[in-house]
Amino acid sequence: MIDQRLLPGDFKILSYDQFQDVAVAIQSMVIRGAPAIGAAAAFGMALAALQSNAETKNELNKDISKAGFLLNQARPTAVNLSWAVQRMINETKGFPGSVSELRQHLLEFAKKIADDDVEINKKMAAFGAALIQDGDHIIHHCNTGALATVDWGTALGVIRTAHEQGKHIHVFVDETRPRLQGARLTAWELEQYGIPYDIITDNAAGHLMRRGLVQKVFFGADRVAANGDVANKIGTYMLALAAYDNGISAYCVTPISTIDFELERGDLIPIEERSQDEVLGLSLLGQPTAPENASAKNPAFDVTPYRLISAWVTEKGVIRPPFRRNLEGIKEG
C-alpha cells in the first residue's frame, strides 16, 4: 500500500503479511477510499486464509469468518469493505476443492476484485467525462483518484479522462478538512496528470459558485442508500446544498458495489466518528489552533439527500431521477 498519511511530502510503500495489520492500516488510513478499502479487505481475507493452520475447509471457513469480523470493524461507513469481505466468504461456500486449493482460490478471487475495480473505474470515467464541457471549472471534494481506488479513480477519474480527451478544465480542490485529503492527495494527483487546479478552503466553495466561477461539482461516495441518499466525506452535504441553490449540477461518481440496496435511506447509514485529535491537532504558524482543554466532534462523513444530486455516474451509465426506481433497475440488470 502507498502510505497516504505521508503524501505529498513522502512517497512510501508499506507491505503486510498479516490480516490483522491490514485491518489496522485501513483503520489508521494508511489506505483510504471506498474501492481501495474493499480491495484491501479482500486481500486481507486472502492473507487470513494463508495464515490459518486449518486442516479442513470447515475450520478454514471459521478462521476466515473471524478475520472478516475484524476487518469489518476497521471503517464502518464504507460499504465496499463489508461487500468485499462477504464476497470472499461466499467463495468458500460449497467450494469443491481441497483446503490448499481453497486458499489459492481466495487469493485469485481477491486479485479479481482488484482487477475488476480498475475496469469499473474506466467505464465510469468514460460515462462521466461526457458530462464535462471544454472550459469547465469544477469543484472536487476529498480524494477520489487512483489513490482512493485500485487505479484510475471515480470522480477524479472522470476529470482525468476529460483532460486526456483534450478538454481544457480547471479544478477547484476543496481542502477537505480535517485530514486535508483534497489539499494533500487530490492536488498531488492533479500535478501528476498536468491538470490545472487551485486549492480552496471548504467554506469558499459557495462563494465561488455564487460568483458564477463554477460549472460542475463532482464527488464520490462511501455508501449509497436504496433511495439515493449518499454518505460521503464530511462537507459533501454543504457543497451539494450550495450547488443546488446556485443551479449547478452536482454529480456523484460511484461503482454499483457502493450502493447498499438493503438500506432504505441515508439516515440509517452508520457514521464513523474519528478521534478529536484530527481536529484539535491542527496548528497555525507553529501554534495550536484551539485552547488546551478544548474538545471536538469529528464525524468523518455526512449524508447528502438524493434530491440535491443531479445524477449518478456508475459503470452502467449515468442515472438520473427518479433515483429509487432507476437504481433498482440497475440492481435487476
**Under a CB-based contact definition with an 8 Å cutoff, are residues 174 and 253 in contact?**
no
**Under a CB-based contact definition with an 8 Å cutoff, are residues 87 and 39 in contact?**
no
In terms of Cβ atoms closer than 10 Å to its own Cβ (0-12, 13-18, 19+), residue 246 is middle
Closest CA to 169 of 124, 128, 121: 128
From CA 236, how far away is CA 242, in angstroms rounded?
10
From CA 180, how far away is CA 204, in angstroms rounded?
15
Q: What 3-state class would DSSP assign to 319?
A: strand
**Under a CB-based contact definition with an 8 Å cutoff, are residues 159 and 234 in contact?**
no
From CA 190, how far away is CA 160, in angstroms rounded?
8
| Grid cell locating 282 | 491542527
**Inter-helix orientation angle 99-129/79-92, to 10°:** 140
Q: How big is the chain by its Cα radius of gyration, in Å?
A: 20
User: Which residues does 179 contact at the CB level (< 8 Å), separation at least 6?
Assistant: 29, 278
Q: List C-alpha distances in Å: 170 to 203, 215, 306, 311, 320.
A: 19, 10, 26, 21, 25
222 has catalytic annotation: yes
User: Which residues does 56 contact at the CB level (< 8 Å), separation at least 6?
Assistant: 99
From CA 287, how far away is CA 289, in angstroms rounded?
6
Catalytic residue of the set 222, 229, 260, 302: 222
User: Which positions are annotated as active-site residues?
Assistant: 222
